[in-house]
Amino acid sequence: MKIKEITAFPIRITREDEAEGKDRPPVIDFGDYFVDQESFTSIYSKHHETTVIKIETDTGIIGWGEAQSPVSPRTTQVIIEDLVRPLIIGRDPFDIEAIWTRNFGAMRERGHPTGFYIDAIGGTDIALWDIVGKATGKPVHKLAGGRYRDRVALYAGMGGTEPEKVADLAEEHVGYGYNALKLHLLLDADGVAEIASAVRNRVGGDIRLMCDVHMRHSVPSAIKLGRALEKLDFTWLESPLVPDDIPGAVALSNALNMAVAIGEWSRTRYEMREAFERRAYDIVMHDIARTGITEGHRIGTIADTYNIPVAPHVGGGGILSVAATVEYSASCSNFMIMEHSHHANEFKNAITAEHYAPDNGYFEVTDKPGLGIEIDQSLVEKYVIS
């Protein structure tokens, strides 16, 4: 079998729902995108944006993948067309690891060991796994390590700035069947603790709670916050510090009893080596639509070597990111729990031929070949950014 063509579709699905709490600190508005007015944190799209990847083979088997691109998916498209395409046309899709290594090496010396370039080769890797699964009639998880579990546990995310409104959302999600919730809270330590307390009071002691503070804290502020969250029996404090503050993450992890979860911004084992060696992770949360399945499994194996659980990030990833993460999680020995967005899943499904959704807080692991999901190209094309 040979790879005949690769195509990237940068898509934007307009989002108008307010269901997960769009209430947040003041922003500077750029039209489709916005940034926080007072802190130097991520640029966000008001919509769902990502890059869908299609690989065709000379046998007629088609594989689909996704390179997570929450902003500027056209950047990823150009990388696929200009750099990935010439390197993979004519190759056997079963040479998955060899293709990843060829792609990774092509820009390594020039200083592109992460970011959009690795997203592009990670999304390509997912599409190749889909092809190999379809060619063998097996689900990806059967080929990428085997089935460790029959269903994948999810936690649902939500945010806001007002304690009772966030507590309302938490209660709503418990009603959908989730027994684990994550709060995205963009406030100072006291503001976060106040909302966390309101949510714990509302949902009771049996629901697992986590808190993501999106790199807004210094070490002392994160220690103060972590101590407050420990009293509320939160499972983890996520992304409290800027990504490169590895010494700070080590100090924080040592200071707190609760787990510190980081790693969504990292795409390769090379990039994560120092954090593993210095034990900066209590829980590692790499994103499969950034790492790909091949490198995602390598990172998971290193995490296992250090006795660290894996809680894959999905964030703004689309439905192919969700499906790839379910397949990865089913075949990951040290999997803990997977990120999910209950209301966002509905519009992520806008490109699927068959609905792909969880049941009562879990994705059932299927026996369908490949990623177990069918994409309708005519629907993908409807959302392409021109």
Residues that bind Mg ion (CB under 5 A): 212, 239, 264
Angle at 285 between CA 238 and CA 78, to 5 degrees: 115
Shortest separation between residue 121's beta carbon and Mg ion, angstroms: 22
Shortest separation between residue 247's beta carbon and Mg ion, angstroms: 21
Shortest separation between residue 213's beta carbon and Mg ion, angstroms: 9
Distance CA 95, CA 98 (A): 5
Distance CA 84, CA 212 (A): 34
Pick 125 or 212: Cβ nearer Mg ion: 212
Pick 198 or 213: Cβ nearer Mg ion: 213
CA torsion through residues 193, 198, 200, 201, sign:
positive
Shortest separation between residue 26's beta carbon and Mg ion, angstroms: 21
SS3 369: coil
Pick 126 or 311: Cβ nearer Mg ion: 311
Pick 212 or 282: Cβ nearer Mg ion: 212
Pick 309 or 369: Cβ nearer Mg ion: 309
List of residues 6+ apart from 44 with CB closer than 8 A: 33, 34, 35, 70, 71
Please say whether the beta carbons of 142 and 327 come within 8 A.
Answer: no
Distance CA 125, CA 229 (A): 38
Shortest separation between residue 137's beta carbon and Mg ion, angstroms: 36
Pick 239 or 349: Cβ nearer Mg ion: 239
Shortest separation between residue 112's beta carbon and Mg ion, angstroms: 23
Pick 264 or 282: Cβ nearer Mg ion: 264
Report the residue closest to Mg ion, judged by CB.
Answer: 212
| Among 227, 258, 266, 220, residue whose Cα is nearest residue 241 | 220
Pick 139 or 317: Cβ nearer Mg ion: 317
Tokens of 117: 């370039």
Helices and strands of the chain, counted as H and E runs: 14, 14
Shortest separation between residue 98's beta carbon and Mg ion, angstroms: 32
Pick 6 or 153: Cβ nearer Mg ion: 153
Distance CA 74, CA 80 (A): 10
Alpha helix (H) residue ranges in the chain: 73-79, 85-88, 96-106, 116-136, 140-143, 163-175, 189-203, 219-231, 246-255, 269-277, 288-305, 319-330, 342-348, 377-382
List of residues 6+ apart from 296 with CB closer than 8 A: 122, 286, 288, 312, 328
Strand 338-340 vs strand 151-159: parallel, antiparallel, or unpaired? parallel
Helix (H) or strand (E) holding 45: strand 44-45
Shortest separation between residue 210's beta carbon and Mg ion, angstroms: 9
Shortest separation between residue 214's beta carbon and Mg ion, angstroms: 7
